[in-house]
Chains A and B, each alone.
Chain A
Amino acid sequence: MKNILTISKREVARLRARFSGRSRAVVLAIIALTIISSGVVYHQDLVISKGLYIVGVSTHGPSIEDKRFTVVELEPETGYNLLRQGTIDLYIEGNEIVWRDDDRSQHAAGALRQYLGKQELFMISNNYDLNRAFPLRVEIRYFRASTGGTGAQTETSLLDILESTERTAQPTGTSPSRGSEVPSISRPASRGLDETGTTKAAPPSKPVSPYMLPLTEAPDESLLEVASNTDAAVRQQLAELRDSRPLPKFRAEFVSEDDVIIPSLMKPPIPLAQVIVAFLYVVPIFFVSLFFTSSFTEEKINRKLVVLLSAPVTPLEIILGKMLPYLAYSALVIVIITIALGGNVLLGLAIFTPVMLFIFSIYLAVALTYRTFKDQTFFSVFAMSAITIYLIGPTMFIGVSDLSHISPLTLAVEMYRGESFHFSEYLLATTPLYLVFLLATFLGTRVFNEEYLMGFRPLPTKVAEALYLAMDKNHLNISVLLLSMFFVPVVFIVQLVSIVFASNLPSPFTLWFLLVISVIIEEIAKSTGVVVLWQNNVTKSSKDVFIFSFLSALGFLLGEKLLVFLALGVLSESIFVSAVFGAGLLIAPLVLHVVSTSVVCLTTARLGIKYYPLAIAAGTIIHTLYNLYVIGVVW
């Protein structure tokens, strides 16, 4: 322990020395400038599509305050001409929107409609009393679908739930028209511009002008009726609508959905909020990762590594010692940001600590593997992108699919919304991260020798070397089994990132691509350990290769089932999950894994390492056929 602290102190001293004198002042100045400019930008009215649409308006047209629109006042004749030419995207005459048939114009029409629709809502809320302007109140009630047969009769029934709400407001004024025909709703007041220039239109049936200034007289008191409990919700949501800005104010944004919904005031939750939260937490950590990796690289280059290795410290102490200052800094960042956003500090730490550990384990792997700066830069950036995708990708599906629980960020969003999550969900999101950290640290200690660290070899060779060093020569059987088991979270993460990649492809290819890629990743994971042993002449015969293949397959299957066991509680109905983790009895999958792995390993042993890709292909075919059979596509 003391050694770890010593090394940490040394690391901090190194950092201090890097920035001394004038450079320290420059850096601090730049940091201050960054914080100030970020703060200023945040408080601006950020419009991302400023001036994207060009709109012509006639003299009595509506006023458009939205910065997305560049507004020009035009006479109708000029307006239609310019519209035809494409100089403007829309022309508004009176309260009719005229658009062209091309994409640009239609998108502009959609945006303008939304804006004018919103203005209309404000107008009617000013001109009419709440009960006329927003007559429909939808109350949400949650009902727990019973898990059948538990026997307890204390569950509330639907009737109880419905009757527990307050009495509804009294109807007013005109008696309800319950005729069988539906009163026609006026056609949308916009029309297309056809080639001859004549416009085809259905004029609005009632001459209400939404663009006129709201009436200044107070609404008729006699129309106000007994205030319904839902009125408060209407007022609050109206206020939120008026106040809305493109960037979320975090506290308000993450408040859980209202129990009363007014359809025209319903705001979809902006998925960008997840992205911003992710960046806030993760970017400060990425900044310092640079120093972490160069801490190792520098010592490699200075040849100080030799000195360090001869000192009475273990590789584990060195690795943890160097990591400790950065972990402490990251923990501090997590605490500060969680407090700033108004979250629960303990929960925030619980959620983001595994994320932090995961990031540092990836950077540890990069640092120990690469020799040149150029390689390091790019693999670091590569790692950063992959990590970001892994964290943010699943959160796009919050509220839509259980896939979102793969990312710990979903837990963070739920925390900020005040929703609770199950411990099993926490485990599912964080276990792969913790496991990767343990695996990386373990591998790091095993490769921490001069020859490996200073060696200049291509990546696959380095990986193979690392794996060989990781295995305990006296207990090869257990090593192979455990290696495959520990590969499972890595395989899991890589497969998830490939899902994101696959979403780029056109639809029918996506599933095929995923099926094949997942299998390839698995086969590589299972066979690597055995092939490495064979390469180093540890295996003496085909029988040895087969035994190791069996153990590797077994270890992988065990790891897989453990993960599925975790996941079953959370991920319910996703075709991706069943494609990736085919559940089922244990024997059939075990036989499959043994067969495919032995095919790969024996083929490589027989033909040579150059044929490894071919061997993988063979194993993949067998495995894929099996998967297709299970899913029911084949036979």
Chain B
Amino acid sequence: MVSEYLALLRRELKSLLREKTILFAIVVQLFIASFSSIILIGIMAFYDPTSIAATTKVNVKVGVVGDTSSPMLEYLRDNKLTVKRFLNLSDAEAGFQSGQVDTVMFIPEGRAGVVNMKLILPELDAKKTLILMVLNEPLKRYENYLRQVNGVQLNYISSGGKPYTTYEFLYSVIIPVLMFLPSLIAGSIVIDTVSEELEDKTFDTLMSAPVSLGQVLAAKISAAVITASIQMVMWVGLLRLNSIIVQKPTLVILASVIIAATLSVGTAIIALYFKDRERAQFVYSIALVATIGGSYFLSPSPFNLIARLAAGNPDVGVLEVALYTVPLIMISLLFINMSGKLTLMRR
């Protein structure tokens, strides 16, 4: 019984490798990884403006008019911005026109009560957002200084600790996505291999050999899950090469494999029901959206589980991963029940 299963498994794996399926899958995932890193750069740029200077090699030059002895200038310089003082407005205008400065800041005299600062930005330039982001930090410091003058004290002003936005995005979105992509592809592979046999009517031929339907289908599902697992291991390694550490890698991979298996069994049911690749893939893609949406209500949700395991949270571990075997067992039972009937059903 087992030897037939293994023989079938070997056949499936060979077929997958021969058709360069793995290669394609890897290239696709590399693409998606690059895509995620672009988004990461975008987020970093917006939430961590000090990194902007490094990535875009742009130095924002600020022209200052008005109260040029204001501490605001110190804050600007602290943020590595070039500050140019102008004695009057027409000088500032000339400086702005000639490109000496990118923006002009008018600081009014007086530091008590409301201070209405004016900021002149270039109208047609795409750099508006960039300038505002880079000025955000010094402006906030000046605001707190003015608050102090007014007698208002804050304790939790910014700076301190590491920028958390990229950290959260990395562990809560990117790493789970990278772990789940192989599962999605595994589901697609199962649909392809099952519907291929159905359409080529080779299932009947297979049945005449001393193998059972269950073994054939099990082999197909296992082959897909194995290829997914290999990719997951690769991803953990690749991330480490990029200095991104996935904590508790065994548990992360185990959880992802369980989810991959659940998806693969599910798609096998879909493929057996619809019998042709076109409809099965279509239904799979739609059902996937429903499943991802629905999975949010699990506690912890798949994304959240991977995120917290990868980040090294001590409060998730083997127990939570074990919980995920429940849906797998349920859908496997359903599958075993239905597979005989489904294969014999008419299209």
Question: What is the minimal beta-carbon distance from A411 to any residue of chain B, in angstroms?
Answer: 13
Q: A99 touching B161 by the CB < 8 A rule?
A: yes
Count how many chain A residues have C-beta atoms less than 8 Å from C-beta atoms of the other chain.
Answer: 138
CB of A418 within 8 Å of the partner chain: no
Q: Which residues of A contact B300 (CB under 8 A)?
A: 50-51
CB of B250 within 8 Å of the partner chain: no
**Which of A44, A228, A396 has most B Cβ within 10 Å?**
A396
Q: B35 touching A138 by the CB < 8 A rule?
A: no
Number of A-B contacts (CB under 8 A): 389
Q: Which residues of A contact B141 (CB under 8 A)?
A: 185
CB of A171 within 8 Å of the partner chain: yes
CB of B81 within 8 Å of the partner chain: no
Q: A396 touching B160 by the CB < 8 A rule?
A: no
Residue of A106, A171, A263, A373 touching B112 (CB-CB under 8 A): A171
Q: A230 touching B35 by the CB < 8 A rule?
A: no
Which of the segments A111-119, A449-457, A553-561, A594-602 contacts the partner chain?
A111-119
CB of B208 within 8 Å of the partner chain: no
CB of A328 within 8 Å of the partner chain: no
Residue of A141, A142, A225, A393 touching B35 (CB-CB under 8 A): A393
CB of A512 within 8 Å of the partner chain: no
Which of the segments A2-10, A176-184, A346-354, A606-614 contacts the partner chain?
A176-184
The answer to whether residues A103 and B162 also contact, given A386-B31, A504-B37 and a CB cut-off of 8 A, is yes
Residue of A34, A112, A389, A500 touching B161 (CB-CB under 8 A): A112
Alpha-carbon gap, A619 to B127, bound state (A):
38
Q: B188 touching A377 by the CB < 8 A rule?
A: yes
CB of B210 within 8 Å of the partner chain: no
Residue of A46, A51, A146 touching B315 (CB-CB under 8 A): A51
CB of B335 within 8 Å of the partner chain: no
Residue of B37, B111, B128, B148 touching A178 (CB-CB under 8 A): B111
Alpha-carbon gap, A561 to B255, bound state (A):
53
Closest chain A residue to B147, Cβ basis: A135
Residue-wise, chain B 9-53 has the 8 Å CB interface mask toward A (1 for contact) of 000000000010100110110111111011101110111000010
Alpha-carbon gap, A60 to B151, bound state (A):
25
Question: What is the minimal beta-carbon distance from A227 to any residue of chain B, in angstroms?
Answer: 10
CB of A158 within 8 Å of the partner chain: yes
Q: Which residues of B contact A139 (CB under 8 A)?
A: 116-119
Residue of B24, B124, B168, B282 touching A144 (CB-CB under 8 A): B124
CB of A271 within 8 Å of the partner chain: yes
Question: What is the minimal beta-carbon distance from A30 to any residue of chain B, in angstroms?
Answer: 5
Alpha-carbon gap, A291 to B52, bound state (A):
44
The answer to whether residues A30 and B286 also contact, given A103-B162, A124-B152, A377-B188 and a CB cut-off of 8 A, is yes
The answer to whether residues A37 and B294 also contact, given A51-B304, A111-B164, A373-B192 and a CB cut-off of 8 A, is yes
Q: Which residues of A contact B214 (CB under 8 A)?
A: none
Q: B21 touching A113 by the CB < 8 A rule?
A: no
CB of A324 within 8 Å of the partner chain: no
Q: A190 touching B160 by the CB < 8 A rule?
A: yes
Alpha-carbon gap, A173 to B133, bound state (A):
33
Question: What is the minimal beta-carbon distance from B336 to any residue of chain A, in angstroms?
Answer: 20
The answer to whether residues A50 and B304 also contact, given A110-B162, A158-B120, A168-B108 and a CB cut-off of 8 A, is yes
Question: What is the minimal beta-carbon distance from B215 to any residue of chain A, in angstroms?
Answer: 22
Q: A261 touching B132 by the CB < 8 A rule?
A: yes
Residue-wise, chain A 242-265 has the 8 Å CB interface mask toward B (1 for contact) of 000000000000000100011110
Q: A131 touching B156 by the CB < 8 A rule?
A: no
Residue of B104, B143, B168, B285 touching A52 (CB-CB under 8 A): B168
Q: Which of A208-262 contact B (CB under 8 A)?
A: 208, 210, 225, 228, 230, 257, 261-262
Q: Which residues of A contact B148 (CB under 8 A)?
A: 183, 185
CB of B130 within 8 Å of the partner chain: yes
Residue of B19, B144, B149, B163 touching A374 (CB-CB under 8 A): B19
Alpha-carbon gap, A75 to B69, bound state (A):
48
Alpha-carbon gap, A51 to B115, bound state (A):
40
Give the bracket for the number of chain B residues in contact with chain A.
Answer: 35 or more
Question: What is the minimal beta-carbon distance from B185 to any residue of chain A, in angstroms?
Answer: 8
Q: A132 touching B152 by the CB < 8 A rule?
A: yes
Residue of B46, B114, B123 touching A135 (CB-CB under 8 A): B114
Q: B283 touching A27 by the CB < 8 A rule?
A: yes
Alpha-carbon gap, A257 to B116, bound state (A):
18
Residue-wise, chain B 95-107 has the 8 Å CB interface mask toward A (1 for contact) of 0110100001010
CB of B173 within 8 Å of the partner chain: yes
Residue of A136, A225, A291, A373 touching B146 (CB-CB under 8 A): A136
Residue-wise, chain A 21-43 has the 8 Å CB interface mask toward B (1 for contact) of 00100110011011001101100
Residue of B52, B71, B161, B196 touching A113 (CB-CB under 8 A): B161
Q: A120 touching B282 by the CB < 8 A rule?
A: no
Q: B154 touching A51 by the CB < 8 A rule?
A: no
Q: Which residues of A contact B172 (CB under 8 A)?
A: 48-49, 52
Q: A114 touching B164 by the CB < 8 A rule?
A: yes
Alpha-carbon gap, A50 to B124, bound state (A):
41
Question: What is the minimal beta-carbon distance from A606 to any residue of chain B, in angstroms?
Answer: 32
Q: Which residues of A contact B30 (CB under 8 A)?
A: 501
Question: What is the minimal beta-carbon distance from B229 to any residue of chain A, in angstroms?
Answer: 19
Q: Which residues of A contact B287 (CB under 8 A)?
A: 30, 34
Q: A162 touching B31 by the CB < 8 A rule?
A: no
**Which of A157, A186, A263, A269 has most B Cβ within 10 Å?**
A263
Q: Which residues of A contact B156 (CB under 8 A)?
A: 113, 116-117, 120, 188-189, 210
Alpha-carbon gap, A136 to B150, bound state (A):
11
Q: Which of A270-320 contact B (CB under 8 A)?
A: 270-272, 275, 286-287, 290-291, 294, 298
Q: A401 touching B116 by the CB < 8 A rule?
A: no
Question: What is the minimal beta-carbon distance from B104 to any residue of chain A, in angstroms?
Answer: 7
Residue of A137, A275, A381, A382 touching B117 (CB-CB under 8 A): A137
Q: Which residues of B contact A27 (CB under 8 A)?
A: 279, 282-283, 286
Please give the residue numbers on chain B whose beta carbons come within 8 Å of chain A beta carbons, in ascending order: 19, 21, 24-25, 27-28, 30-35, 37-39, 41-43, 45-47, 52, 56, 69, 71, 74, 89-90, 92-93, 96-97, 99, 104, 106, 108, 110-124, 126-130, 132-133, 136, 139-164, 167-169, 171-173, 185, 188, 192, 195-196, 273-274, 277-279, 281-283, 285-287, 289-290, 293-294, 296, 300-301, 303-304, 307-308, 311-315
A-B contact pairs, 7 of them (CB 8 A): A41-B296, A117-B156, A136-B117, A137-B116, A264-B140, A373-B277, A375-B19
Please give the residue numbers on chain A whose beta carbons come within 8 Å of chain B beta carbons, in ascending order: 18-19, 23, 26-27, 30-31, 33-34, 37-38, 40-41, 44, 46, 48-52, 54, 68, 70, 86-87, 95, 99, 103-104, 106-114, 116-117, 120, 124, 128, 131-146, 148, 157-159, 161-162, 165, 168-178, 180, 182-183, 185-186, 188-190, 204, 206, 208, 210, 225, 228, 230, 257, 261-264, 266, 268-272, 275, 286-287, 290-291, 294, 298, 372-375, 377-379, 381-382, 385-386, 388-389, 392-393, 396-402, 404-405, 500-501, 503-504
